[in-house]
Amino acid sequence: MLLSLGCQTMREGVIATIIFFVSGVLTIIVGVGIVPELFHLNHIVVFVGFLLLLLAPIILVSTFLLSVLPKAKERMDKCEH
């Protein structure tokens, strides 16, 4: 089921958010400082970095919204913290 949320899904959402955020920041730094201006390649790399930064909070918010669904509380109570 696509909208099923469990302990593993919650952890995966947070880890994916961290990965997207860190890779977005590193991609922006690389695009600004290292990539040459050949064919506006640096702008493309910075744009990809901003997209990664934009996806990080979207993943986190969608995971949160899944956790407030009516039956999600029952499944989350079974988790070992």
Q: State the Cα–Cα distance between residues 18 and 20, nearest whole angstrom.
A: 6
Q: State the Cα–Cα distance between residues 18 and 24, nearest whole angstrom.
A: 10
Of 20, 41, 18, 21, nearest to 31 by C-alpha is: 41
Q: Could you read off the pLDDT of 43-78 as tens digits, one per residue?
A: 999 999 999 999 999 999 988 887 777 776 676 677
Per the prediction, the chain carries an average pLDDT of 84
Lowest-pLDDT choice from 20-29, 30-39, 71-80: 71-80
pLDDT interval class at 10 (50, 70, 90): confident
Whether the Cβ atoms of residue 52 and residue 73 lie closer than 8 Å to each other: no
Tokens of 57: 């909070």
Instruction: Show me where the domains of the chain are located.
Output: 21-69
Q: Over 80: is that where the pLDDT of 40 sits?
A: yes
